[in-house]
Amino acid sequence: MLIYFDAKDMDLARKAAWVFRHCVDEYPDLIQPYLRKLVKYLSKENHHDAIKRNGLAILQGISIPKKLYGPVTKICFEFIQNGKEAIAIKAYSMSILDNIGEDIPEIRKELKLILQDLLPYESAGFKSRARKILSK
C-alpha cells in the first residue's frame, strides 16, 4: 500500500495513504517494515496535503525507533515552520516532536521556543495544539 503513496495518479495516492493510515491504526506493527520508506517519502517536497497528513498521523500513533529520530525531527520542524502547511500537518508534527521530546528533552526546548514565536501569528487550531504542548 505504501508504494502507492508515490503514484502519479494523485487520487490513488491520497486514497492509499488514507487506507494505510487506518490499517496501521488497527494493526500498528504493519508499518514497521515500511517505516524508513515512509520517513524518506515525507522528506521529499511537493506532496499532496492528504499524503503528508496521513503519513504524519501514522507516525504520531506509533513508537518511532530512535534511529529515525533525526530525520523525523527535521521533517516535523520544517512542517511547523512552513507558513504554507495545513494546520493538521503542523498539529501532527507538534505531537510527534513532543513524543520524541520524552526521550530527548532538547527537542521539547526547541519546540517550545518555536511555538512561542509562531503562536501570535497562527490559527486557532494551531494555538490550541501548541498550548496543550506548551502546558506540559
pTM here is: 0.91
Please tell me the total count of domains within the chain.
1
**Contact in structure between 54 and 17 (CB atoms under 8 Å):** yes
The predicted pLDDT at position 15 comes to: 87
Q: Residue 92 sits in which domain range?
A: 2-134
Q: pLDDT tens digits, residue range 24-74?
A: 999 999 899 989 999 998 998 878 899 899 999 999 999 999 999 999 999
Yes or no: say if 74 and 43 are a contact pair by the CB < 8 Å rule: yes
Cβ-based neighbours of 121, under 8 Å, separated by 6 or more: none
- Closest C-alpha among 68, 62, 70 to residue 31: 62
What is the model's pLDDT at position 92? 97
Q: Inform me whether the pLDDT recorded for 3 exceeds 70.
A: no
Cβ–Cβ under 8 Å, residues 96 and 60: yes
